[in-house]
């Protein structure tokens, strides 16, 4: 497939994109657009510092591996609210996130981003697609993210196979635990721009079927990667997680993981045997 690219000087304002999202509540088709968006985006030092504080990353001279996701979020939002995108933004569910760090993320003041959607597949609850985000510097591909997203209620002609249930990793040692307080969704949104109502308050979460506000999945992943920084190499690895039971706010969670090494596993548990997140890291497979 030949992808058509739209090159932007800058993304639209997030306020206008959220207004566009609020105006679209129905599925309008069952085909993903073949177009994508590209834009050069600069690191904002004050925002980066606030993100490090929020997610407990130390300042080691490199971008946190999850920070390019924050840089590209408005560009992703623009793709997902475009007129030719068939699924309403509100109600999409983030199931899986994979980040590849090709080379060390140091000495960066800006990156060239490309964002597109691909791989629409049937699912027992509707359909899934992948939101792909790539970041390049002057030497080529530096970082890549794949988010698998569920569209509930989507009807596709192909039969849906039952998803493979993630197997909880065993014999993992506790690394740390943290308390997700009731306003972490609002604090994350202020820094990262993700104002999905399910994260902001109990009343807004109830509009979408959640009894309480839930933590952003990418905040939980960032907190895990910050806590496991001593387990991970500087580059040449992929870190992926499955988002399982949401973290209802407020609550305490426990992060357990394998020992430091080229590959390993992690899990994020809550009270009452709730399993919130399973993940793994390993070297990037050669092409």
Q: Average pLDDT for residues 93-111, to the nearest whole number? A: 97
pLDDT of residue 168: 64
The model's confidence at residue 32, banded by pLDDT at 50, 70 and 90, is: very high
Query: Residues 273, 153: one domain?
Result: no
pLDDT of residue 174: 96
Query: Residues 151, 181: one domain?
Result: no
Residue 283 has, within 13 A of its CA and on its CB side, a CA count of 5
Query: Residues 109, 151: one domain?
Result: yes
Query: Residues 107, 206: one domain?
Result: no
Three-state SS letters, 178-222: EEECCCHHHHHHHHHCCCCHHHCCHHHHHCCCCCCCECCHHHHHH
Give the residue numbers spanning the domain of 275. 164-287
d(CA 240, CA 101) in angstroms, rounded, equals: 11
Query: Residues 223, 153: one domain?
Result: no
d(CA 95, CA 148) in angstroms, rounded, equals: 6
Q: What is the DSSP letter of 49?
A: H
d(CA 274, CA 248) in angstroms, rounded, equals: 11
The model's confidence at residue 272, banded by pLDDT at 50, 70 and 90, is: confident
Closest residue by Cα to residue 130 from 189, 90, 84, 79: 79
Question: How crowded is residue 157: how many other Cβ atoms within 10 Å of its Cβ?
Answer: 6
Q: Tens of pLDDT along 160-184?
A: 666 666 676 668 999 999 999 999 9
User: Which alpha helices (DSSP H) does the chain contain, by range?
Assistant: 14-22, 45-55, 67-80, 184-192, 202-206, 217-227
Token digits of residue 142: 């530096």
pLDDT of residue 160: 66
The number of distinct structural domains making up the chain is: 2
pLDDT of residue 118: 97
Query: Residues 62, 117: one domain?
Result: yes
Q: Tens of pLDDT along 10-31?
A: 999 999 999 999 898 899 999 9
| Domain end call among 136, 160, 184 | 160
Q: Tens of pLDDT along 147-161?
A: 999 999 999 987 766
Which residue pairs from 275-278 have beta carbons closer than 8 angstroms and sit at least 24 positions apart in sequence?
A: 275/168, 275/244, 275/245, 276/220, 276/243, 276/244, 276/245, 276/246, 276/247, 277/217, 277/220, 277/221, 277/224, 277/241, 277/242, 277/243, 277/244, 278/166, 278/167, 278/168, 278/169, 278/241, 278/242, 278/244
Query: Residues 59, 136: one domain?
Result: yes
Q: Average pLDDT for residues 189-197, to the nearest whole number? A: 95
Query: Residues 46, 73: one domain?
Result: yes
| Domain end call among 143, 160, 177 | 160
First CA to last CA distance, the chain: 20
Domain containing residue 272: CATH number = 3.10.129.10
pLDDT of residue 140: 97
Query: Residues 172, 151: one domain?
Result: no
CB contact at 8 A, 126 and 150: yes
d(CA 165, CA 38) in angstroms, rounded, equals: 35
Query: Residues 198, 240: one domain?
Result: yes
């Amino acid at each position: 497939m030949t992808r058509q690219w739209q090159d932007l000087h800058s993304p639209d304002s997030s306020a206008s994109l959220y207004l566009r999202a609020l105006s679209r509540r129905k599925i309008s088709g069952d085909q993903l657009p073949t177009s994508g968006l590209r834009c050069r985006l600069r690191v904002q030092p004050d925002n980066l510092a606030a993100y490090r504080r929020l997610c407990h990353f130390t300042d080691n001279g490199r971008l946190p591996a999850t920070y390019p996701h924050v840089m590209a979020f408005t560009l992703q939002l623009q793709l997902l609210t475009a007129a030719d995108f068939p699924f309403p933004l509100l109600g999409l569910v983030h199931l899986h996130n994979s980040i590849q760090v090709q080379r060390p993320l140091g000495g960066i003041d800006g990156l060239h981003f490309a964002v597109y959607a691909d791989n629409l597949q049937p699912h027992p609850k509707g359909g899934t697609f992948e939101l792909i985000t790539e970041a390049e510097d002057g030497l080529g591909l530096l970082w890549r993210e794949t988010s698998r997203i569920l569209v509930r209620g989507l009807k596709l002609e192909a039969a849906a196979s039952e998803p493979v249930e993630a197997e909880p990793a065993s014999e993992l040692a506790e690394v740390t635990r943290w308390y997700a307080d009731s306003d972490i969704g609002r604090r994350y949104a202020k820094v990262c721009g993700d104002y999905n109502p399910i994260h902001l308050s109990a009343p807004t979460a109830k509009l979408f079927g959640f009894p309480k506000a839930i933590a952003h999945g990418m905040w939980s992943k960032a907190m895990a990667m910050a806590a496991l920084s001593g387990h991970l190499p500087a580059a040449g690895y992929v870190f992926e997680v499955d988002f399982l039971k949401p973290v209802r706010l407020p609550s305490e969670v426990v992060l357990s993981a394998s020992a430091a090494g080229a590959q390993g596993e992690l899990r994020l548990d809550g009270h009452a045997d709730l399993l919130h997140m399973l993940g793994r890291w390993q070297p990037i497979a050669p092409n």
